[in-house]
Amino acid sequence: MASIGQIIFYSMIILIVLFSVLIILLLALAFSDSSSEVTSTNTLPIANLGEDIVLSCYLNVKIELAKLREASVTWEKKGLTGVVHRYVDGADELADQNSQFKRRTKVFPEALGTGNASLLLRDVRKSDAGEYTCRMSSSEGKGTVNINLRAAAFTAPKFKFTKGVLVAEASRWFPKPNVTWSDEAGNVLNGSTSFKPNSAGIYKVVSMLQPVNISDTYTCRIENELVSAVSKATVTDTNIFGRTYFTFSAASSLLTSMYLSTLTIIIYICYLT
Ligand SMILES: *[C@@H]1O[C@H](CO)[C@@H](O)[C@H](O)[C@H]1NC(C)=O
Ligand SMILES: *[C@@H]1O[C@H](CO)[C@@H](O)[C@H](O)[C@H]1NC(C)=O
């Protein structure tokens, strides 16, 4: 007969082995593309249209001490002629830059010296979505990494409460999202939502919920295939307390339902008067 102590001991051993296997698998995944010494913190970024985004690309070797010599970087976009951005011999080299990117790109020369070849892309447009290649070469190593930029528009909804109707209003969403309401118990509630596209095809979302009980908390979920905004709105006699969590799809086309992490938390209070 095994004693309780022995059972706990062997359970711990099994758990430790399981966790080790898991960690090894994760490490193997992380380093599976070891042929390239260039990598990215996010190969599936989602840009908010009209805002700036940094496409991450850096040399994956320990270079805390090393200063790179002869570092050059070329950013290209699949299907476009010319470059998105090129930096060679300590200067931008933009003679064959595609006109779509004129005056909207920048690398960080100070950071490039430590192996960071990230690209700043300003004022993102729908046409910027697509596959980018960062090609870096330096005294310490070289390689390429592909980055698939997706373009979306997303804003946290603002809440109003008038005449027994809870209204969530979000000014910019793209692609067209779905809106669902639920109560604290998770029951789906019957909201009514309107979508008004502007000339750029970006939707203003207005969703109304009634009836609404004072001091209850309601969840409003606005989501499309790229971004999900989950807001919790608590109605009180004098104000509405709302908070919104964004999650971004890390999905390739095969894994459309996976969300990587909550990147942004927006907390705001919307007063009635
Ligand atoms: C690279 O530099 C950019 C711009 O300064 C910064 O946003 C990013 O976090 C850096 N990435 C790494 C991996 O150091
Ligand atoms: C849902 O709400 C709409 C208007 O807000 C109303 O016309 C409809 O009857 C409601 N449906 C149910 C099942 O309550």
Question: Ligand 2 atom closest to Cα of 190?
Answer: 1
Cβ atoms of 95 and 88 within 8 Å: the answer is no
pLDDT score for 29: 64
Strands (E) located in 7-71: 38-39, 46-48, 53-55, 58-59
55 lines ligand 1 (CB under 6 A): no
190 lines ligand 2 (CB under 6 A): yes
Cβ atoms of 229 and 222 within 8 Å: the answer is yes
Chain position carrying tokens 């870096």: 136
pLDDT score for 266: 34
pLDDT score for 82: 96
The CATH number fitting domain 38-151, selected from 2.60.40.10, 3.40.640.10, 3.90.950.10, 3.40.50.300: 2.60.40.10
DSSP annotation of 20: H
Query: How many Å lie between the centroid of ligand 2 and the Cα of residue 204?
Result: 22
Task: Read off the tokens for 98.
Answer: 């595609």
What are 104-109's contacts with CB under 8 Å, separation 24+? 105/75, 107/73, 107/75
Say if residue 189's pLDDT is above 70.
yes
pLDDT tens for 239-254 read: 888 999 999 987 543 3
215 lines ligand 2 (CB under 6 A): no
pLDDT tens for 125-168 read: 999 999 999 999 988 888 999 999 999 999 999 999 988 899 99
Among 163, 187, 188, 190, the mutation site with the greatest number of ligand 2 atoms within 8 A of its Cβ is 190
141-152/46-48 β-pairing = parallel
Domain 158-248, CATH: 2.60.40.10
Query: How many Å lie between the centroid of ligand 1 and the Cα of residue 58?
Result: 8
3-state secondary structure of 87: strand
Which range, of 17-21, 113-117, 129-133, 195-199, averages the lowest pLDDT? 17-21
More confident residue, 75 or 89: 75
Query: How many Å lie between the centroid of ligand 1 and the Cα of residue 36?
Result: 19
Model confidence band, residue 112 (pLDDT cutoffs 50, 70, 90): confident
